[in-house]
């Protein structure tokens, strides 16, 4: 039974995702986030406006 705890720990370390690794690197996304804006699916929140696109045109780049 003790080996199961060790196997669990090994799998946890092996499959741990690093921060930001899930986001593909699109040029428009990098540009949006470097300017302090954020990406959002659909319309931007009420106090924000869409100033561009993210993720290859699939999302809106929102700013104040």
Quote the pLDDT of residue 5. Answer: 83
Q: What is the C-alpha to C-alpha distance for residues 39 and 28, in angstroms, rounded to an integer?
A: 10
Average the pLDDT over 30-52 and give the result.
Answer: 93
pLDDT surpasses 90 at 53: yes
Average the pLDDT over 42-54 and give the result.
Answer: 93
pLDDT surpasses 80 at 22: no
Distances 31 to 2, 4, 10, 19, 27 between C-alpha atoms, Å? 49, 45, 37, 19, 6
Q: Where are the domains of the chain?
A: 1-63
Quote the pLDDT of residue 9. Answer: 84
Of residues 28 and 11, more confidently modeled:
28
Of residues 51 and 21, more confidently modeled:
51
3-state helix, strand, coil in the chain (%, to 5): 40, 20, 40
Residue 29 has which token pair?
């996304």
């Amino acid at each position: 039974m003790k080996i199961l705890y060790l196997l669990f720990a090994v799998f946890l370390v092996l499959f741990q995702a690093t921060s930001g690794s899930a986001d593909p690197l699109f040029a428009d996304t990098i540009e949006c986030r470097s300017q302090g804006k954020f990406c959002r699916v659909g319309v931007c929140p009420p106090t924000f406006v869409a100033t561009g696109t993210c993720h290859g045109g699939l999302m809106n780049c929102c700013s104040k």
